[in-house]
């Protein structure tokens, strides 16, 4: 593995990203239990408070925790700029957990006297969590002298996350039984665009370009193609909310998002699928299969985004969020955890002992069968959930919830197996 261009010496302690990664299975389990109990009611419309709770368990709890942990690791390593006061992340995590928990409780209790207080508590906790995260990470990216495409992608992602969080905090009153700062549909559209295209789309793209060639021995995506992705993603994520703020119609905002949709869910997946086809190592790899499945789902998300813009059926936006958060990005995040965490554990625990004692190989830290089982359960849950949204059948929705719980349990087992302590002298 070629790591000579990476600043691994500037990475944070292993415990910091790992703590965030462990939140992901817990969030997926709660989301699955919610879907198991409530059934198809949560998949019929994005206006249902329980659906909004389910979405935030996916975006803040599952994807958010993985992406925050990854950024804390990747900014110093890829951008060459240490995150100042990185120990603040130990405050970010409990605040994030409290914020998500209160938000979910407030949304599920919508209409009850206690709901507004829970939502306001969530608002404060999430404001503190993201301030303590975004301020040092943003400062590190501003200080970075790196002009690599990956660094610019991370900068765009952090900017979009900041705007998405600001919009979400302003919308909290409306979800707590109060009023929205403007038309509800307009604000939700801007919030989702910034989150799905800007934060998720830009960060995944930036990480793809560095991680795929490094871990899977593929050819890199050509620099002109990476610049094209960024040139489409930036306006596609930033112009729609700006247009909405200036009073433009939702239709115009949707059209402005088109370049971002093309970049995140068509162009970049095609570039990466082509890069993966060039890999020199042909040995089957569960995490690579997760990449391929996630990349295959991305074009479906683009088609659903188009259908969502053209149709008034409330299920289209729900399907779009499901495909992006749990299907496309969720599968890739799960797959990457099965490669990045073994690499981080091997690097922190064993790299300094090479040549002195017998150390394990990176691949031996996580059995392929366990990773295969977790990723298969994840893929099945994504497919069954999409079918449940399309059909409206509550038993399918509950089956998707059950599969999500199974995925969460298997993902937790994968992480704990990698993290278990081992004695170097007993390993080959």
Question: What local confidence, expressed as pLDDT, does residue 277 receive?
Answer: 86
CATH topology for 8-351+359-417 is Cytochrome C Oxidase; Chain A (1.20.210)
CB atoms within 10 A of CB 19: 18
- Cα distances (angstroms) measured from residue 150 to each of 9, 17, 189: 19, 19, 27
Which residues, in sequence order, are CB contacts of 270 under 8 Å at separation 6+?
Answer: none
Question: What local confidence, expressed as pLDDT, does residue 10 receive?
Answer: 67
Backbone angles phi, psi at 186, to 5 degrees: -65, -45
47: confidence class by pLDDT, cuts 50, 70, 90: confident
Tell me how far apart the alpha carbons of residues 329 and 327 are, in angstroms, rounded to a whole number: 6
Domain boundaries, the chain: 8-351+359-417
Residue 217 has pLDDT above 90, yes or no: no
Residue 428 has pLDDT above 60, yes or no: no
Q: Which range (67-81, 329-343, 375-389) has the least confidence?
A: 67-81
Q: What is the mean pLDDT of residues 405-416?
A: 97
* pLDDT tens for each residue of 340-373: 899 888 887 876 776 677 777 777 889 999 999 9
* pLDDT tens for each residue of 235-278: 999 999 888 888 888 788 888 999 999 999 999 999 999 988 88
405: confidence class by pLDDT, cuts 50, 70, 90: very high
Q: Which range (139-153, 225-239, 240-254) has the least confidence?
A: 240-254
Question: What local confidence, expressed as pLDDT, does residue 425 receive?
Answer: 40
Residue 35: alpha-carbon gap to chain centroid: 20
């Amino acid at each position: 593995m070629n790591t000579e261009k990476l600043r691994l010496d500037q990475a944070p302690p292993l415990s910091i990203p790992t703590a965030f990664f462990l939140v992901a299975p817990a969030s997926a389990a709660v989301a699955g239990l919610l879907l198991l109990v409530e059934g198809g009611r949560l998949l019929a419309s994005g206006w249902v408070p329980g659906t909004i709770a389910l979405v935030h368990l996916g975006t803040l709890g599952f994807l958010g925790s993985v992406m925050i942990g990854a950024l804390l690791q990747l900014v110093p390593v890829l951008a060459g700029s240490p995150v100042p006061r990185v120990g603040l992340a130990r405050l970010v995590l409990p605040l994030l957990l409290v914020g998500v928990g209160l938000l979910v409780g407030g949304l599920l209790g919508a209409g009850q006297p206690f709901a507004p207080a829970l939502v306001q508590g969530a608002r404060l906790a999430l404001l503190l969590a993201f301030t303590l995260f975004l301020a040092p990470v943003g400062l590190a990216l501003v200080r970075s002298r790196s002009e690599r495409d990956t660094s610019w992608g991370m900068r765009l992602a952090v900017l979009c996350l900041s705007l998405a969080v600001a919009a979400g905090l302003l919308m909290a009153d409306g979800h707590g039984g109060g009023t929205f700062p403007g038309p509800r549909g307009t604000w939700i559209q801007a919030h989702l665009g910034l989150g799905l295209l800007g934060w998720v789309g830009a960060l995944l793209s930036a990480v793809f370009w560095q991680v795929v060639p490094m871990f899977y021995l593929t050819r890199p995506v050509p620099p002109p193609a990476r610049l094209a992705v960024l040139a489409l993603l930036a306006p596609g994520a930033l112009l729609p909310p700006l247009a909405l703020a200036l009073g433009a119609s939702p239709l115009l905002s949707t059209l402005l998002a088109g370049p971002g949709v093309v970049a995140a869910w068509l162009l970049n997946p095609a570039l990466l699928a082509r890069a993966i086809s060039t890999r020199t190592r042909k040995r089957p790899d569960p995490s690579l299969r997760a990449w391929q499945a996630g990349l295959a789902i991305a074009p479906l998300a683009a088609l659903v985004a188009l259908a969502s813009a053209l149709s008034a059926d409330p299920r289209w936006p729900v399907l779009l969020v499901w495909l992006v958060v749990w299907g496309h990005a969720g599968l890739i995040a799960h797959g990457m955890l099965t490669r990045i965490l073994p690499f981080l554990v091997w690097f922190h625990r064993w790299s300094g002992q090479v040549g002195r004692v017998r150390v394990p190989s990176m691949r031996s830290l996580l059995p392929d069968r366990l990773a295969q089982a977790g990723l298969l359960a994840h893929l099945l849950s994504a497919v069954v959930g999409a079918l449940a949204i399309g059909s409206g059948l509550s038993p399918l929705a509950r089956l998707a919830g059950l599969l999500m719980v199974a995925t969460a349990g298997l993902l937790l087992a994968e992480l704990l197996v990698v993290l278990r302590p081992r004695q170097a002298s007993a390993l080959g």
